Amino acid sequence: MAGRNTVIEVRELTVSFDAHTVLRDVSFDVYEGEVLVILGESGCGKSTLMRHMIGLNRPDTGSVVYQGVDICRTDEGTLDRLRRDFGVLFQSGALFKSLTLAENVAMPAREFTELSDETIDELVQLKLEMVGLAGKGELMPSELSGGMQKRAGLARAMVLDPKVLFFDEPSAGLDPVTSAALDHLVRTLNRTLGTTMVVVTHELPSIEAIADRAIMLGRETPGILAFGTTDELKRMTEPTRVRAFFHRERIEGDVT
């Protein structure tokens, strides 16, 4: 995209588990302020790619460069420092059941900063308000609906004002109405804050609602099948799996 600063560069990333190659020669850029969606069929390596992008796993070959540093090859101290620029909303929300909502959201600030308790409390209330959970800080995770738990996880991911937010299947397990509300929140935060976002999902309505660009990974053929805007991907007639995905077509011979 002309005129856009590159935030993350992924180059020739190859990942295998035992003899099975999940990702092969994956290369793309993530641009500042965009919502980039990583999509594809179940089992194509979407979440695996995200985990490598945030340095949780190391690839067989290739690189993920952030701020001029290959996070796949750097030392743990540098990796920990760089990862403070990342916020992650995991699929389950990953809230600690024994902590209140406010305590969950405060955890990164208490662990990685020297801010006063008063400042952290104010920061937590601000983030809860941003995700529509103002006044809910004393609730326990068990008292929250699925959608509220996702919003709570998002508030925690945002508490340190990350430069890049990663989402792993944010709509998983949500009903269509709640999912649409979460999509709207994600898009609103992107537009108001300008935060770069990388979203892993296979939910078509979410992809169409939030994506600036999308990368489609292949399952039968590991790697990138197609990339572009959702309109560009929907207009593709080849590869067959791209067309089938966006138009919900059955592929002859598939049993899943």
The confidence score (pLDDT) of residue 249 equals: 72
- Global pTM value: 0.91
Q: Are residue 174 and residue 77 in the same domain, yes or no? A: yes
Burial class (CB in 10 A: 0-12, 13-18, 19+), 247: exposed
The confidence score (pLDDT) of residue 252 equals: 58
pLDDT band at residue 106 under the 50/70/90 scheme: very high
Note down the domain range covering 141. Answer: 98-162
Which helix (H) or strand (E) element contains residue 151?
helix 146-158
Q: Are residue 158 and residue 171 in the same domain, yes or no? A: no
Q: Are residue 20 and residue 132 in the same domain, yes or no? A: no
Q: Which of 125, 144, 162 is the last residue of a domain?
A: 162
| Number of domains the chain is built from | 2
**254 falls within a domain:** no
pLDDT band at residue 112 under the 50/70/90 scheme: confident
Which residues, 6 or more positions from 183, have their beta carbon under 8 angstroms from its beta carbon?
A: 171, 205, 206, 209, 210
3-state secondary structure of 213: strand
Q: Are residue 172 and residue 150 in the same domain, yes or no? A: no
Q: Is the pLDDT of residue 174 over 60?
A: yes
Q: Are residue 155 and residue 220 in the same domain, yes or no? A: no
Q: Which of 107, 127, 162 is the last residue of a domain?
A: 162
Q: Are residue 112 and residue 235 in the same domain, yes or no? A: no
pLDDT tens per residue, range 19-30 = 889 999 999 999
Q: Are residue 153 and residue 199 in the same domain, yes or no? A: no
Q: Are residue 167 and residue 146 in the same domain, yes or no? A: no
pLDDT tens per residue, range 178-214 = 999 999 999 999 999 999 999 999 889 999 999 999 9
**16 falls within a domain:** yes
DSSP states along 152-212: HHHHHHHTT--SEEEEESTTTT--HHHHHHHHHHHHHHHHHH--EEEEE---HHHHHHH-S
Q: Are residue 58 and residue 79 in the same domain, yes or no? A: yes
**62 falls within a domain:** yes
Q: Are residue 57 and residue 175 in the same domain, yes or no? A: yes
Q: Which of 110, 137, 162 is the last residue of a domain?
A: 162
**90 falls within a domain:** no
Dihedral over alpha carbons 23, 18, 88, 30 (to 10 degrees): -20
Q: What's the token pair of residue 121? A: 């409390």
Distance of CA 186 to the CA centre of its chain: 11
Long-range contacts of 77-84 (CB under 8 A, 24+ apart): 79/55, 82/55, 83/54, 83/55, 84/112, 84/160, 84/162
**Among 250, 248, 209, CA closest to 230:** 209
Convert 85-147 into a string of H (helix), E (strand) and C (coil).
CEEEECCCCCCCCCCCHHHHHHHHHHHHCCCCHHHHHHHHHHHHHHCCCCCCCCCCHHHCCHH
